[in-house]
């Protein structure tokens, strides 16, 4: 009886070459998958896009003056994987210490975007250019923002600090396309 049980137990044990063959097959399969090039849809990155944004809001004057200045404008930018390079044109009404009623401003902007877990993008932007409150002068802007994608459209908001001690509160509606 003991030799019969021993023979049955030995027959149930797989041959040593079977696990090695199975291991080689798995290694070959996974090695082939590693060499496949991922498409851009598989990655977290998006292809470059053109973004057009229409801005509007309020630019509050320095703390001592208590004056506000409404603004409106637009921005056209090229979006790389995480950075936007663009041009922004704005018109400010009643800027403090300006000799003109409407102050045009043109800026070259660099915006760094950060994805959040909820699909919203946070943004940090810096712009330099020129404004014309009387004569043309240098103008700068530093802004923190947020973008909410709605398909090809997006909503945007920014809080920025600009030349002439302006605190800029802006809302935007934009479209992204290739």
pLDDT higher than threshold 70 for residue 8: no
Quick: pLDDT tens for 12-44: 555 555 566 656 665 665 555 444 444 444 445
What is the structure's pLDDT at 122?
96
Q: List C-alpha distances in Å: 170 to 81, 84, 131, 145, 173.
A: 24, 18, 18, 9, 10
Any domain includes 41: no
The domain that holds 148 is classified in CATH as 2.40.160.20
Half-sphere exposure of 7 (CA within 13 A, CB side): 4
Any domain includes 43: no
Any domain includes 44: no
Quick: pLDDT tens for 41-95: 444 555 668 999 999 999 988 655 567 789 999 999 999 889 999 999 999 998 8
End-to-end distance of the chain based on CA atoms, in angstroms? 79
Any domain includes 73: yes
| Residue 65 phi, psi dihedral angles, 5° rounding | -85, -35
Identify the domain containing residue 57 by its residue range.
Answer: 49-177
Q: Are 79 and 24 within one domain?
A: no
Quick: pLDDT tens for 92-111: 998 888 888 999 999 999 99
Q: Are 88 and 7 within one domain?
A: no
What is the structure's pLDDT at 61?
80
Q: Are 102 and 168 within one domain?
A: yes
Any domain includes 40: no
What is the structure's pLDDT at 111?
96
Q: Are 15 and 86 within one domain?
A: no
Judged by average pLDDT, the poorest of 9-13, 89-93, 120-124, 172-176 is: 9-13
Report if pTM > 0.75: no
Any domain includes 42: no
**28 compared with 120, residue with greater pLDDT:** 120
Any domain includes 165: yes
**38 compared with 2, residue with greater pLDDT:** 2
Q: Are 62 and 146 within one domain?
A: yes
Q: Are 82 and 129 within one domain?
A: yes
- How far apart (Å, rounded) are the C-alpha atoms in residues 161 and 152? 29
Please state the domain count of the chain: 2
What is the structure's pLDDT at 98?
86
């Amino acid at each position: 009886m003991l030799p019969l049980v021993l023979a049955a137990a030995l027959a149930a044990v797989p041959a040593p070459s079977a696990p090695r063959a199975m291991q080689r097959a798995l290694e070959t399969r996974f090695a082939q998958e590693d060499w496949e090039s991922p498409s851009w849809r598989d990655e977290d990155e998006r292809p470059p896009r053109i973004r057009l944004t229409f801005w509007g809001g309020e630019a509050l004057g320095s703390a001592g003056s208590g004056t506000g200045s409404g603004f409106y404008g637009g921005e056209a930018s090229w979006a790389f994987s995480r950075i936007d390079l663009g041009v922004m044109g704005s018109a400010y009404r009643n800027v403090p210490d300006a000799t003109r009623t409407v102050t045009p401003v043109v800026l070259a902007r660099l915006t760094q975007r950060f994805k959040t877990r909820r699909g919203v993008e946070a943004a940090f932007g810096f712009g330099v250019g020129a404004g014309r409150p009387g004569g043309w002068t240098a103008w700068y802007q530093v802004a923190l923002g947020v973008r909410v994608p709605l398909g090809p459209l997006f909503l945007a908001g920014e809080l920025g600090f600009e030349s002439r001690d302006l605190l800029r509160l802006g809302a935007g509606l934009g479209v992204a396309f290739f």
